[in-house]
Structure 1
């Protein structure tokens, strides 16, 4: 059975039921020209195709990207200082349906989110998805390593640091008794990631035990920052020599001798007649005088005693007693006057000495250098050895009395500078307190490298480069 073309188009329209009856004339038009206009095809194609979602902005608080942002550039880096422990990251997309994640965590477009940073490299994977299509961006934030290598605290199990600990001062002195054979060093760094070594041994939570020989020795403390920079603190230790002790046998022998002498004296006193009491009294006074008192008064007392005894034969008992008493009284008064004079002199000397001691230091230290001996308030000259790379030294001086003033010659804010070829420098530290004045002298000796040696080294380095 044969159907014409017009019948076929009518059947299709009635079966499918697509569109309205107004389309039918078109379809009919398509009988002679069945193709759809090209413009209508392009509109339909662009509506059905979805574009891949992208970012339109990446911003970091307190940091700058290594390159200007572009949606088509997918890798970025940024650098922050060590003290920056977190940053605010802002991501934005113009696609309202886009889902943005950072290391798998969903964030909101146009709203800043907080990122925590560790020292070194911090990698962040950013994904922008719209349906099944995903755009991926890589962001790396580098946080610099710490250069903090100072101590916050430094203590010893025995002895007292001179001067008192300060983070900026790296040289200290301490004196311990001979009985102290070892010291326990405890130290704490300002930065918890810094490493501390005491005499090249790692410091533990229990501290570091260091054996101390008799005489002078050093304890070297090295603090290494996270970035590898090292700062060295040095404690100059002086352990006193052993004191000479008397043997037990010698002490016992002396005790026994004293006991025997005491018994003999008591026996003599019992045997001595009552008439000799006055003579014994004069003898006792003479013995004390011979121990450092006035010898002339002793002779006077003896002469007076002899004269009194000679006159006793011709004078009555009452006259003899009166003259004897007068002689004894004269000698005693003279003796007491001498004692009072000596006491006044000793008191005057004591006051003079006390007054002179108000212009002394309780501590004196330098930021660099090795001292020839530990500081003591009554020692006024010291030699300090410096290495060749030291160009300046800070002097720290603490007066014993708060009202004393200190001046350090040839210094700026207590800093002493050295020329490249200056091997020796003498600095006076003057302490004044009223009329009192003391001067401490520091003799700095610096190791100087000869110019010929430097030229020779430079020549060898050039040859090696060639």
Structure 2
């Protein structure tokens, strides 16, 4: 009798354990399983790259799929049991990691992973590995050429292009990029790597070279892209693209069709540098019979007219001469300044030797400025408000006034140029406004505006003090509360902390005195603290 009750008790305990397991884990699998017989981890890798399980791994999920490219030959499946000592088989082989060979493109390979507990309870996980079908993508994603430009611009389904290059171009670099990395291609019959430039030699000037980029898709279908590269014939372009001189400037300004120019330089200039460039890079050039693109030409002493000849020879042999006549006067006519500064302050506009009039503004507390002038010709003479040494301290009149400073520059030939600087000493600011007003508790009512001087602030009964922070519109104004400065001249903002009486209203007055010490504005805050 005792044994019967013992057996009945055992069966009852087993039944209760099973019932609790079903209640907690459910019965989502096709067969009932022990909830602890499961995997802790499951991965599929292709080479060193982890494949993506769909859905993401969860020990309670037993069915997965993996999609791979058509050129994947095998994968490695690794599985670890949740409980040490449980056994794992992968496609019938007792192991926790196994290489699975895949079938042809377009096929699916099933992988069954069984985790078992002491050969009794088990759970089977299934991974369906699908290998993509061979595609028919035989297109290029991009195609470029250097030098030159494709005509028309590249489009995936446009197969024929034209490219024009100069007569001096002997090779081009063609860079094709596959749309499908598994496809293959050739450039003029030679295998080519996607995205890598291929150098193609061109036929002689005046001839065309055909470049064929043949793309073969995974399924064997082909698509040819054709580039016809036309190399220009040797031309008769004997024009200059650029012609400059230093010092001085060409008169008239350079244009390729004009062949005669003059240049005026100072009497102390001993040489002039001529720099030129032909329009056709295949053309040759000489400056005063020397093959070069830049040459310094010495000028004779005293007044002189020196002729410089630039000859351009086109690729076909046709020549064009350009003439530059450099006029050097007997005496320098240089009455320019090379630099002019005012301290403190800044010239408006920025200094330029051809700009004669300037203005400058300084703060109201500045009583004098220093003007420094540098002559372009050291032998010119300065006079006026700045002596020949080139520097003078100019006293200013009272705030709000302007003073005109004149600098006369006399060249060696007697020609005079006058530079003028009008220095304005600003009047003291009348700005007594605030640009911002904030409180540490509550909200300003109304919202802050510079023209609104009175505000209300309601705070909870628990707030026993408030901090008011104010920012001046003019940093040079002075701000105070109850006669005590909270922001002196130069300080942009200041703050004050005021205790609040319970069940009372506290008034805080912020006084702003402008820089002129006359203009004043008072901002008042009434802070209401209720009884608790």
Q: TM-score, normalised by structure 2?
A: 0.27
Higher RCO (CA < 8 A, seq sep 6+): 1
Q: TM-score, normalised by structure 1?
A: 0.30
Larger Rg: 1
- Which structure has the highest helix share of the two? 1
- Which structure has the highest strand share of the two? 2
